[in-house]
Amino acid sequence: MSAQTSSTAIRRRGLMLVLSSPSGAGKSTIARNLLENDHELSLSVSVTTRPRRGSEIDGVHYRFITPREFDGMRESDALLEWAEVHGNFYATPREPVEAAMADGRDMLFDIDWQGALQLKDKMRADIVSIFILPPSMKELKARLKRRAEDSDEVIEKRLQNARVEIEHWRDYDHVVINHDLDRAYSDVRAIVTAERLRRDRRPGLFDFVSGLLDEKI
């Protein structure tokens, strides 16, 4: 195989892309766009004890489970990380992530700062974390209201929690401010592209470069 053709199939390790932000900062839309346009990326579907919203599909956005099921999964070590957010439990099931990593596939995690820290502790080298900030707290509140999926009481709780979430911005590798959704999305795409090209994530480069140097010209 020539160096030219093998360059398209250089083996690399899977990337664990963590996206966090306060609710309403645009993270879900960015995550959805990424998943639609980047077929190397699949979503880690979390389990949650939160009630399903009207627009959500069980098994696609989350697996909706009971607190009892959640306890069972936690006790049997089936969760890679878990956290309590806004009074509900959320967690990342271990098995699909380990399977993706073993196959060198990339995974996207839409999780909060508590989950991001736990994953970083467990899988240091493979994590790339991005924090998405709203342009202002006023705009964050307006976006939560526009979404109209939560009651006023829940929106208040989410705004209080937003402050706590934002305080953890320093724990992330990259920070994107979502003034404009298209721009924020292209920033996230640029980060993913650059991270995939990192030398230390591409063990297959050794063979590629050896092939280049051995090539008869």
Site residues (vs ligand 5GP, CB under 6 A): 23, 46, 50, 81, 83, 85, 90-92, 110-112, 114-115
21 is in an annotated binding site: yes
Q: Name the strand (E) or helix (H) holding 37.
A: helix 27-37
Task: State in angstroms the smallest separation of the CB of 215 from ligand 5GP.
Answer: 47
DSSP class per residue in 1-12: --HHHHGGG---
Question: Of the two residues 14 and 24, which places its CB atom closer to ligand 5GP in the complex?
Answer: 24
Q: Which residues contact 177 (CB under 8 A, 6 or more apart)?
A: 132, 133, 134, 135, 184
Least Cα distance to 27 among 136, 178, 193 occurs for 178
Residue number, 15 or 19, with CB nearest to ligand 5GP: 19
C-alpha to C-alpha distances, 137 to 48, 164, 174, nearest whole angstrom:
27, 13, 20
Nearest approach, Cβ of residue 46 and ligand 5GP (Å): 3
**Residue 91 labelled as part of a binding site:** no
Closest approach, Cβ 201 to ligand 5GP, in A, equals 24
Task: Name the amino acid, one letter, at 15.
Answer: L
Residue nearest to ligand 5GP (CB): 115
For residue 6, say whether it is annotated as part of any ligand binding site.
no
The least CB distance from residue 165 to ligand 5GP, in Å, is 7
Rg, C-alpha atoms of the chain: 19
